[in-house]
Structures are given as C-alpha cells and as structure tokens.
Chains A and B, each alone.
Chain A
C-alpha cells in the first residue's frame, strides 16, 4: 500500500523555480509563468495555468481529461471586458495605475488596505482580476485582514501587560513559601503527552487502516471550476478531512485522486500539510484517476444532483466525494462526471432523516461528509451519522413552536379574549366580576368619538 504514495520531491524543485516570487517588482513581472494566455485573463476563475515547460520526465503532469479549458459560462466574446495587458511594460504600467487606484480609494475613505501592506503575491492575484468591482471586493478582503491584524496586536499587547503583572505577583508569592509547588511545570505526577506522540499513535492506526479498512476517495479534479477563494476553502476542508479521519477510532483508507500539484488547491493543501508528499507520511496522494486504482463495480459517486438516495452503507464499495466548493458554480459537474464514467451514483438521504430549515442551502462541507461516513461505518445508523450536519441548517422546531404561540397570544390580546375564562367557567364563576373586562387605563377617561375605533397601540415590541 505504501508504494502507492507518489514520490514527487525531486520534481518539485524543478517546478518551484517557475513559481518563485521574489521581492523585486521587476522580477515579479518578468516571471515567465505570468505572461500567460488571454484565456486566463478573461476567465474569472483564477486557476493557475498548466506550466508551459514540462520537459522533465519525472514530473508526470497528468492532463486531466475531465478538466474544462474554459468555464462554461464564458460565452461573451469579451466585448465588455477590459483588454488584458500584453507585454511587460504594459503590465508595469497597469501595476502603477492600480497602485494609484488603491491610494486614491484610501484617500476617499473606501475599504482598501494601505499600499504598503499589499504583498507581491496579492498584486499577482490583483493583476488577474477582470473588473474594477472584483478588485474592490478583493481590496475589501485585504482591508478586513489588515484591520483584524491590528486589533489582534493591540489586544495582545494589552494582555501582555496583565500577564506580566500576574506573573510578578505569583513569583513573589512563591519565593516566600517553602512548600512544594504542584502543578504543570512544577512537581506533578502527570506524564506530559506531547502532540508528536499522539500523531505517531494516530499514524500507526492509519497505516493499519490502509491495510484493512474500507476505502474512500476524494476526487480533486475540480480545480478549474473553482475561483481562487473557493479553491483555498477546498484545501482547508481537505486538510480537515485528513485530520478528522486520522483522529477517529476506526479510520478509512483515504485516497486523494486526480491531484494536480500545480493547482491553487493543492498548493494550499501543501502549505497546510508540508510533509504531504513524503513517503513515510500516511497520506495517499495520486495523480491518477480513481478508475485506474479501483475496479469500476465497487465505485459509488456521492453527488447531490442525482435522484437516488444511499440506502445502506456497504463496506465493499469505494465511495467517491468530489472535492469541490460550489458556492459560485452550481452546474451538476459531479453528476456529469459520474454519468460519463458510467459509475453508480447516490446522494445522502438528508430529506428522509432531517427537517431542513429555510436559511442555508443543502450543501455540506467535505469534512462533514467524511465524518458522516465514518460514523455511518461505525454505527450503521443514519440518525447518529447525520448528527454531523450543523444544527443551524436544520429547522429549529422549538423556536417555531414559540413563534406560533406568541402570534396566537398577540391576536387573543387584541380581541380581549382570555382562554381561562372559557375553560374554567364553572370554577371561577365568582371571580368573573373581578376579572377586568375593559381596559383599566381607559376606564376613567371620557369617551372621545374621534379616537374611538383607533388601532390598539402595540405596547410589546417583538
């Protein structure tokens, strides 16, 4: 099983020089990978383009046959889009103009970061954005990051002051006493369990799972269909999938298939898990497709666009989850892929076991899916497994009931109707006179025909 781990360490260094981002802007602009075709400029998706030079035999850049060359909605013949810069002086000029734009927007008080805090990598991304509004949305994001960072630093310094004070006090106290000091860092009978010990234990369990457990595939071929932001989110979710699988009592044998190592998503995943491609690390990363790794009869593609529910969990079948964050793109891509390959399809029986609320859509993140499948494998009980669906997406039964109750009470109040009068008629006959039938605050006021029949003021604001 360990042989399936792809060795890519030497190939990586070859690729790395193409993507080295230096500090100097001249080098930035003359990097050959940046003078890419107009296609990438016209697309709103920021997919890193496939590298131009790949003469090296070790670098098996797998041309994904399922990847599209152009996003499906790019039907405009680019009449309304800004023409992309060709040549290096044009790019330098554009960069200067954009810096001026940021400066002026900052002077006008708009949400843009200060010019100094925008890094080279950010400028690289900004130069690929197609329109002014897209740029301003990205500036807004950078502004938010900057402001949060400043607030965090400020709070940290304030806390540091308090911590120092506290430590001083504690040290003074401890110097005076001659008793033994118990606690973490002092005399204690607890063994310290380090993170690396936990990791080793879990890795060991994972290697055992690779030999004996059922398999799961995460299909990473959707990078061309995601925007940059979505690709980064997908990378984080993939990392969480691996972590939560490893931490579970009975992990799956997880395979990442159709991985394109130059894509935005995979590069971000490599940042999260730097040892991802090391041979001793128990993560299966394949550039091949899952059809080449597993027999087709066992494959089941989990896609939300099909009509058949997954009835029962079958440990012999290999479940495939498409690693795509589809907030922007809502085409049935996973359905199309499964249809083309002729694989069985299924979706989770969410409607049968859960009451879906009105707010959020029925999309689940990748790590939620993996958790559901893990629990399904262990307990074979859908109700238990679907507890991993976040509560905010589901219908809040209690608040619905209370809302109904409040509405009824409001209407009864308006009609001056009291349910207890009707129900406890016999018992409270004597008390009827005491019950206030007319509104007491109006009792002593003279009758005013102009105000008669006016709407009752809403005293409770709900």
Chain B
C-alpha cells in the first residue's frame, strides 16, 4: 500500500502573544504565512516523486492528487497555487504518460479549478511527445484527443488576441498532432512579434510539412530557420529524406535540391543524416560512400580534386573598399589609431605596394611565448623574413614603435630585405595588416596566427562571409622554428569546406553531433560523403 506520509510535515507557526497583537499595527500579513524551509523542489525529490507516484500508474485518486498538491505548496516557498499545476504536468511529461496527465486535468476540472495557460501548454507538449512516440502519423492520436487539442486551441484563440511566444510554441506542438497544422504557420508569425522563433516550433512544423508532402512549405520553413541564424535539426532533414524515399524516380532531383540548400547556406549535416543518405542511395543502387579528403584536397574515394575557394572580383572590391571604414575608423578613429597615422600608412602602402605577403611582426615574434628577451623575438622574425626571401617574395612587416629598441642588426636586415612599418604603441596593428593585404591585390597572402574574430564581427553579416572565405584562402600561420633556423609554416586550405559539386560528384561534409548555435569554426571537416550521379 502506498502512502504519502513521508510528505507530511509539521507546520511551524510563529507564536504571537495575544496582548501584543492588540498593541501592534494591522500589517501582519507576512508573519501569518507559513515558513517553509526550502524554496524549490530539489531534483532528488522530483525523481522520487516520479518513481513512486508516476511510473506504472495511469491514474491517481482525487485524494492522492490533493495530497500531492497541498504538500508541494506547503513544503516549498516558491511553489504556489498558480505554478503547482504546471510543475506536476511537467513531471508527467518527463515520463510521457498521457493518461496520467489527462487524469490530472480531469481532477482539476472536477475541483472547479480551470487549468491555466501554462498547464494547458504542458499538456499539449505531452500530446506531442506521445504522438511522436507512437509513430508520428495521422493515426497516432485518437480522434477525441485530436478534437480535444482543437477545442483547447479554439478557446485560447478566442480569449486572447495576441499570444506570447511560449504559448504559441506549445500550441504549435499540439496542432502538429492534428490535421489543422497549417494554422501553426500563423502562430509562428504571431510568436515573432515578441521573440525570435524557437527552433523546436520550426522543426515540428517542418517535419509535419514534409510528412504531409507539402514540400514547398517545408523548404520555406527551412530557409526561414537558416535566415534567423539557427541550424536546422536532424529531424527536418530525416523527414524530408523519408518522404522522398517513397518516390525512387525523382530521388536524384530531390537530393540535388537538398545538396544545393546545404551549399548555399554552408551548412554541415550530422552523421545520423549522412548515414541515412548512404543507406537510401545504396538501396537504390547509387554510388555513395563516406570518405576523407587529404591535405591536397583530393577525395580518397573518387580521386577528384575538390573545388578551390575563390572570391569574385566584385566581392573582393566591396570588401577592400569598406574594410577600413568598418573596422579601423568605425565611429571614432582614436580608439584604434590616430588620423595622421592612418594617412601615413595609406601613403606608405600606395608607395610600396604590391606585396607577396604581409607579416604581422609582433604576432610572429611572440608566437614562441610572451616572456622572451627581445633578441629571441627579433631572431624569429628575421628567420621568417629569410624564409620568404629565399622564395623570392617581397614582404611587408608590420610592428610597433617599441621594436626600435630591438637588436639593431635584426632591424637592419628586415629594413634591407623587406618593407617595415611601425605603428604607435597605443594603436592596434591588426586592422593595418588586413588593410595592406586587401589593398595589395587578390594574390597577396598574410602571415599571422590570429583568427581575426573581432574584425570579422565588425564587418557585418554579408561582408563577414566574404572575409572568411578570403581569410581561408590567404592566411599562413607559423607552426614552429627548427633548431637550425628553418621555419615550418601552415599553408592555407585552398579547397571549399562545404557541400559542393565537382564534375558530376557531390561531396558533402558531415559532423558527429548536432550543435544548436553554429559558430565560426576554423577546423576542416574530417568526414565527407562522396556521391556519384
């Protein structure tokens, strides 16, 4: 026999002597409240609740519900009448017990308490979870359950003119289980009045659209997901693949559409989706295999050379023209430099351009460690300049005025065999480096270990993409210096790092797991899919 005794607790009341009560003023409200010790339930307590009460049970008697409710309210300071229902339904949701949740709502209605918006939202999410658990097709939920959802939706829309983002999201989760999922699209618009769209809601609608065969709606939603800066989840891709698996005739075309989508937005799919694609293609006897790309950019399976990165002339011009305004000058030139220095540098660049390579002197010098004597720093820089001189290249070295105190012979060598420009000690030298490289032409590289994240951010969304592509193509990084003074350098990866087509073969990179916020990664994807048409 199960008993709830261990939830009962002695209530402590503050003892107030009656004589003083008459003398005191009327504001007695907070001391009359109970003083529970804890503020919110600990996860252990919730766990015990779930295991003892909820598992293997599909309904509780009204008295048990009442006990549970009152014990939670009395025991915890921040659990009150208004949020205890949502909390209990949230617990049911974890265990995915639809009948239990419905039983609780029934009990509440029996008590005369209408469940509030948050509780209804939780209920809709439980509906959604059980819908997906039982297959995710039209017959997953019974007709009266679907009717229940639609009634709830109708009532809520009637009462409130505009709904907030959480309620819209929960309603979308519920509507996706019924036939009326198209109204979810209106709800999506409404949610965007107050917040950015949630990836969960977008995914649910996309998946439903693809299952129902509404490819156009699905693709619009995927485009919208990417435009809002979120990465589409695996479920959206899998739903699309499952749909096109039923039509082997148009399989290639539909897959091409997916690949071009991945190409245009530079997205990387996960291993799960990649496996599914391989299985799908191999079932229909197409040539698809997962491979790796070696350092020269050649696919190990088909032997083709991947496409090289290129920045078109127009884009390059756009980048180089607006670079100095957006990054160096911005609103206040004095934050990074001074007007005289910028003018001096511009004149210097026009006089000594074009270069083969621009070296960030201090980045190179300090790459062996920050606490080194100036002699060591100077020798490293000299070795790098020698390395380029031996290849017959003309370089520009950027530094700061304090480098004048370095060993004189090192500076003499640099001045004789390359160009040297020293900025003020208080100025930032990275924007100068990039400006010189951009002004010098499309074939100039630069030499720095810096990832240039802050400068990429300052350029804004459109220019950032162009900048990253240009950076990938042109950045050399120092790895180390050998004992006899030779320099080992990391060359830039010249091939494209996203989905693209070479002759008639698509190469699709994939990663191991999904990450909700894709940030700028500088790593080369290790595993690729090689798909031949």
Footprint of B on A, CB under 8 Å? 68-70, 72-73, 75-77, 79-80, 82, 93-94, 96-98, 100-101, 103-109, 131-132, 150, 153-154, 157-158, 160-161, 164-165, 305-307, 331-333, 335-337, 339-340
| Set of chain B residues within 8 Å of A340, measured between Cβ atoms | 332, 334
Tell which of B78, B117, B326, B425 touches A109, judged by Cβ atoms closer than 8 Å: B78
What would 16 more interface pairs be, CB under 8 Å, given A101-B164, A108-B83? Answer: A72-B330, A72-B331, A72-B332, A76-B461, A79-B227, A80-B229, A82-B193, A97-B162, A97-B163, A97-B194, A98-B164, A104-B118, A104-B164, A109-B40, A335-B426, A340-B332
Give the chain A neighbours of B85 by CB distance below 8 A: 107
A164 to B87, CA, bound (A): 42
Q: List 13 A-B contacts (CB under 8 A).
A: A68-B331, A73-B457, A75-B326, A77-B461, A94-B194, A101-B166, A106-B83, A108-B86, A108-B121, A109-B78, A109-B86, A131-B195, A154-B33
Write the nearest CB–CB distance from B440 to chain A, whole angstroms. 25
Q: CA A243 – CA B460 in complex, angstroms?
A: 45
Given contacts A75-B457, A104-B118, A157-B31, contact A68 B195 (CB under 8 A): no
A-chain residues with CB within 8 Å of residue B35 when the two chains form the complex:
154
User: How far is it, in angstroms, between the C-alpha of A320 and the C-alpha of B262 when the chains are bound?
Assistant: 55
B14, B165, B335 interface centre (most CB from chain A within 10 Å): B335
CB pair A68 B332 closer than 8 Å:
yes
CA distance A171 to B425 in the complex (A): 74
Given contacts A93-B161, A109-B86, contact A101 B30 (CB under 8 A): no
B163 touches A164 (CB 8 A): no
Interface residues of chain B: helix, strand, loop or mixed (majority):
loop
Chain B interfacial positions (CB closer than 8 Å to A): 14, 16-17, 20, 23-24, 27-28, 30-31, 33, 35, 40, 78-79, 82-83, 85-87, 116-119, 121, 160-167, 192-196, 227-229, 326, 330-332, 334-335, 338, 425-426, 457-461
**Which residues on the A side are within 8 Å of B167 (C-beta)?**
100, 104
5 tightest Cβ-Cβ pairs between the two chains A and B: A107-B118, A336-B334, A132-B195, A101-B164, A154-B30
- Inside 8 A of A108's CB, which chain B residues have their CB? 83, 86, 118, 121, 166
- Please give, as numbers and ranges, the residues of chain B lying within 8 Å of A94 by CB-CB distance: 193-194
Query: In the complex, which residues of chain B have a beta carbon less than 8 angstroms from the beta carbon of A107?
Result: 82-83, 85-86, 116-119
How distant is A433 from chain B, measured CB to nearest CB, in Å?
51
The smallest beta-carbon distance between A48 and chain B, in angstroms, is 20
Contact: A80 with B165, CB < 8 Å?
no
Task: Tell whether, in the assembled complex, residue B194 and residue A101 are in contact, meaning their CB atoms are under 8 Å apart.
Answer: yes
| A105 in contact with B166 (CB, 8 Å) | yes
CB distance B163 to A100 under 8 Å?
yes
Given contacts A104-B117, A335-B335, contact A75 B86 (CB under 8 A): no
Asked, given contacts A157-B28, A164-B23, whether A101 binds B165 with beta carbons under 8 Å apart, the answer is: yes
CA distance A433 to B331 in the complex (A): 80
Q: How far is the CB of B329 from chain A (nearest CB, A)?
A: 11
Chain A residues within an 8 Å CB radius of B165: 101, 132
Beta-carbon contact of A75 and B193 below 8 Å:
no
Closest to A80 in B: B229
Taking the nearest CB of chain B, how far is it from the CB of A310, in angstroms?
16
Distance A336 CA – B425 CA, assembled complex (angstroms): 14
Q: Which residues of A contact B160 (CB under 8 A)?
A: 100
Among B14, B338, B459, the residue within 8 A (CB) of A158 is B14
Q: Is the CB of B338 within 8 A of A339?
A: yes
**Contact partners of A161 in chain B: CB under 8 A:** 16-17, 20, 24
Contact A132 B196 (CB under 8 A): yes
Contacting pair A335 B326 (CB below 8 A): no
Residue of chain B at shortest CB distance from A306 = B426
B30 A153 Cβ-Cβ under 8 A: yes
Evaluate contact between B460 and A75: CB separation under 8 angstroms.
Answer: yes
- Nearest A residue to B327, CB-CB: A75
Task: Count A/B pairs, Cβ under 8 Å.
Answer: 129
Given known A82-B193, A132-B196, A331-B335, contact A75–B117 (CB-CB < 8 A): no
CA distance A331 to B27 in the complex (A): 51
Expressed in whole angstroms, the Cα–Cα distance for A307 and B28 within the complex equals: 60
Q: Indicate if the CB atoms of A160 and B24 lie closer than 8 Å.
A: yes
Query: Chain A nearest CB: distance from B319 CB in Å?
Result: 15
Cβ contact of A339, chosen from B27, B30, B116, B426, cutoff 8 A = B426
Which of B33, B121, B335, B459 interacts with A336 by CB under 8 Å?
B335
Cα A101 to Cα B85 in complex, Å, equals 17
Taken together as a complex, chains A and B put the C-alpha atoms of A339 and B428 apart, in Å, by 14
Q: Which residue of A lies closest to B15 (CB)?
A: A161
Contacts of A154 in B (CB 8 A): 30-31, 33, 35
Contacts of A131 in B (CB 8 A): 195-196
Q: Which residue, of B20, B227, B229, has the highest number of chain A Cβ atoms within 10 A?
A: B20
Interface centre among B228, B326, B331 (most CB of A within 10 A): B331
Is there an interface contact between B162 and A96, defined as CB atoms closer than 8 Å?
A: yes
Are A79 and B461 in touch, CB under 8 angstroms? Answer: yes
- Please indicate which of the listed interface residues B83, B164, B195 has the most CB atoms of chain A within 10 Å of its own CB: B164
Question: CB within 8 A of A106: which of B20, B28, B82?
Answer: B82
Is the CB–CB distance between B86 and A80 below 8 Å?
Answer: no
- Cα separation A158 to B79 with both chains bound (whole Å): 23
By beta carbon, the residue of chain A nearest B195 is A132
Q: Are B116 and A82 in contact (CB under 8 A)?
A: no
Which B residues are CB-close (under 8 A) to A307?
425-426
CB distance from A212 to the nearest CB of B (A): 35
Chain B residues positioned under 8 Å from A150 (CB to CB) = 30
Determine whether the beta carbon of A164 is less than 8 Å from that of B164. Answer: no
> B117 to chain A: which residues have CB within 8 Å?
103-104, 107
Q: Contacts A76-B461, A77-B460 hold; do A165 and B30 have CB atoms under 8 A apart? A: no
Residues of A within 8 A of B229 (CB): 80
Contact status A158-B31, CB under 8 Å: yes
Q: Evaluate contact between B335 and A82: CB separation under 8 angstroms.
A: no
| B332 and A336 contacting across the interface, CB-CB below 8 Å | yes
Query: How far does the alpha carbon of A157 sit from the alpha carbon of B33 in the complex, in Å?
Result: 12
Contacts of A109 in B (CB 8 A): 40, 78-79, 83, 86-87
Cross-interface CB contact of A164 among B14, B20, B460, cutoff 8 Å: B20
CB distance from B152 to the nearest CB of A (A): 15
Distance from B349 Cβ to chain A, minimum over Cβ atoms (Å): 23
B91 to chain A, nearest CB (A): 12
Q: List residues of chain B with CB within 8 A of the CB of A80.
A: 196, 228-229
Tell me whether B334 and A97 are in contact (CB under 8 A): no
Q: Are B228 and A333 in contact (CB under 8 A)?
A: no
**A69 to B35 CA separation, bound complex (whole angstroms):** 51
Chain A min CB distance to B174 (Å): 15
Complexed CA–CA distance, A106 and B116 (Å):
11
What is the CA–CA distance of A82 and B196 in the complex, to the nearest angstrom?
7
Greatest chain A CB density within 10 A among B17, B30, B338 is at: B30
- CB closest residue in chain B, given A165: B20
Q: How far is the CB of B430 from chain A (nearest CB, A)?
A: 15
**Other-chain residue from B192, B332, B335, B458 in contact with A75 (beta carbon distance below 8 A):** B458
Residues of B within 8 A of A153 (CB): 27, 30
| Nearest CB of B to A344, in Å | 13
Q: Which residues of A contact B332 (CB under 8 A)?
A: 68, 72, 333, 336, 340
Question: In the complex, which residues of chain B have a beta carbon less than 8 angstroms from the beta carbon of A333?
Answer: 332, 335
Minimal beta-carbon separation of B334 from chain A (angstroms) = 4
